[in-house]
Amino acid sequence: MSKTLLDIRTQIKDDLDLNEETFVTDVDVDRFINDAIETAEAEIHDLYEDYFMADIITPIAIGENKFDYPADIYGNKIRKIVYKESAAAKNSTSHEVKQEKDILRAISRDNYEIDSVNPTLTWTPSNNAGEGRKIRTYPATGRAGVLVIYYIRNAARLSLDTDICDIDEFERFIVQAAKTAVLFKDGDPRFTESKALEEQLKTAMVNTLSNMVPDNNDEVELDLGHYDDMVGGIGDYTWEY
């Protein structure tokens, strides 16, 4: 079960007996947690970025040709865009909106398909000053319906106590990495042992992500066997005085 920021912070403070300490604040712990999430995120994007595959539906109208990227997109990574005549209708007309590689051909579509009733849409990235990043569709006249955008998203950063960690398979690494940062900040000699455990969990995470197994539908399942074997004997690691 995924944990909230409060759950993770409480676990770290309890394990390290920090509840009466003042050298590290909740703000410090939260920063260390998010730093660990960023580290895990980088490994996931490098080894198995489909872990963060997401989709969003964007309504479009005739005459609209610029649309916002998803707010949580990672590195502008769009995997696929699909046009649908209607988001609700099961048998509505649809087609892939392919990225236009030839900008001259894209521009010519704006000029020569102005009377097209149901054009096959294409797109290019756009980043004009004052507008920011946009998805630009061709021809400019567009067509009414929706765009289903499949993209790679960022891992959620945690700021509110109720925010949920969405890398729940690797929460043990995140917790341990944050503990290591706390001990380093305090100059605690247990830092060395904590760092070694953190590296073990990171290696297990990397091995797990590297061993994705395609199923019969050509999709990729997350095989947590190696990671579970590595952390099975560790459990929720606590420090004893």
Contact between 123 and 97 (Cβ < 8 Å) = yes
Can you give the pLDDT at residue 23? 86
Q: Taking the model in full, what pTM does it have? A: 0.80
Using an 8 Å Cβ cutoff, are 146 and 84 in contact?
yes
User: What are the strands, taking DSSP E only, across 85-219?
Assistant: 94-96, 98-99, 122-128, 132-138, 145-153, 213-214
Residue 30 CB partners (closer than 8 Å, separation 6+): 5, 9, 158, 159
pLDDT tens-digit readout, 130-171: 999 999 999 999 999 999 999 999 999 999 999 999 998 999
Could you report the per-residue pLDDT of 1-48, keeping only the tens digit for each? 789 999 999 999 999 998 888 889 999 999 999 999 999 999 999 999
The yes-or-no verdict on residue 232 having pLDDT over 80 is no
Q: 224 pLDDT band (50/70/90 cuts)?
A: very low
Q: Tell me the C-alpha distance between 83 and 143, whole Å.
A: 9
For strands 66-68 and 132-138, give the pairing: antiparallel
CA distance 153 to 158: 15
Taking only the tens place, the pLDDT of each residue in 47-67 is 999 999 999 999 999 999 999
Contact by Cβ (8 Å): 70, 151 = yes
Please report the pLDDT score of residue 212 as a whole number.
Answer: 66
Confidence category of residue 215, pLDDT binned at 50, 70, 90: low
What is the Cα–Cα distance from 150 to 92, expressed in whole angstroms? 19
Cβ atoms 145, 86 nearer than 8 A: yes
Residues 6+ apart with CB under 8 A from 129: none
Amino acid at 144: A
pLDDT at 186 > cutoff 90: no
Task: Tell whether the model's pLDDT for residue 239 goes beyond 70.
Answer: no
pLDDT for residue 197 is more than 70 = yes
Find the helix or strand (DSSP H, E) in which 58 lies. Answer: strand 53-60
Tokens of residue 219, six digits: 């999709």
